[in-house]
Amino acid sequence: MRRFGLASVTYALGFCIMAICSVIGLFPADRLSWIGLVFVLVNAALFTVFRLHLNLRFADPSLTKLQVLIGVLMVFCILILGDQVHFLAVPFYSSLFVFAMLRLSKREVLQLEFCVLCSYAAAVAVRNTLYAGTIDLRIELIYLMLVVLSSVWYAFAAGYISSLRTRLKESRRAVEQLAIRDALTGVWNRRHIDHLLAAEIERKSRLGGNFCICMVDLDHFKTINDQFGHTMGDVVLQKVAEFMQSQLRSTDQIGRFGGEEFLILLPGITLKDTVDCAQRLLSNIATLNLLAPHAHSVTISVGISECSASETPTALIDRADRALYVAKENGRNCLVVH
């Protein structure tokens, strides 16, 4: 709606300029009323489309290209309705290009430039027919050159702005990923996995279904750091996280809960299937030679809990954590269900 509001203000300003031209005798007053009526009808139609949210069916909900093409058509009508308003072509087309640059890509602006040039050339031809003997073709050609040069400049400027928008979007996505990803392992960080856990529990409370979680802890991780160094410990964390993520479904989520602990969310899966999944992770990780060439295997312990009705995230995690504690007490490299 804000882009539509900007377009409406531009239409209003354009109409005010046309009214001034009419007052000083540069544009016929009877034709000004028709221009005003078209302005009102176009804005009413666009307002209805936005109000009914019909614009959401299109790739560009702001309908920038459509609004600009309507503007090009209206400038064409203004140029052929008045024989002394050719000087309005450059400022009117410039306002359309500025409006388009804020949203359209360089390719789309080039397409717009082609439409503008064709439209203005057609207007010049029609004006030469309607007002033969009263217009100076030399002046018309000068304004045509101005339209061409300004269109080319705006096309290059649009390309630059489009590249800035692309870089801005990429930077924004990078910042968003930094805010939700664990810097070392690349899985979700603690804050985001907590958010996903709360969302899954809320979804279960509304729709029902199964939901289980696994609390995973690397066994003897302090010994790995002490014996092989923290750099090797970081590599082990990265490889274990990468392997676990590769073994999960696309609907599952994994995040680093803290230190060497990971939290896995398994929506829409029974407790039995969760145990089978955790057992596969446990068995396969134990066979990975993560500390090569050292003959030292890396194992994990897993605590599993199934979400019950009306259970809070804190309570669910607490049960999985207690199960993990029992797995550690049972000698590690095993899983326990709570």
pLDDT tens for each residue of 95-107: 888 777 777 777 7
Question: In the prediction, which pLDDT does 245 show?
Answer: 94
Pinpoint the alpha helices (H) of the chain. 2-23, 29-51, 64-81, 89-101, 106-130, 137-180, 190-207, 221-228, 230-247, 271-287, 313-329
Q: Which domains does the chain have, with CATH numbers?
A: 2-178 (no CATH), 190-337 (3.30.70.270)
Question: In the prediction, which pLDDT does 3 show?
Answer: 65
Question: In the prediction, which pLDDT does 291 show?
Answer: 78
Instruction: Average pLDDT across each block of 10 residues of the chain; the chain has 338 residues. List them in order.
Output: 70 82 84 84 85 83 84 87 81 80 77 85 85 77 83 78 82 86 93 94 90 94 89 92 93 94 95 94 90 80 92 94 94 92
Question: In the prediction, which pLDDT does 173 show?
Answer: 86
Question: In the prediction, which pLDDT does 55 show?
Answer: 81
Active-site option among 113, 140, 200, 260: 260
Question: In the prediction, which pLDDT does 98 show?
Answer: 78
CA distances 3 to 10, 45, 47, 113, Å, are: 11, 15, 11, 20
260 is catalytic: yes
Pairing of strands 261-267, 211-218: antiparallel
pLDDT tens for each residue of 43-78: 888 888 888 888 888 887 888 888 888 888 888 888
Question: In the prediction, which pLDDT does 4 show?
Answer: 67
3-class secondary structure, 48: helix
Amino acid at 176: E
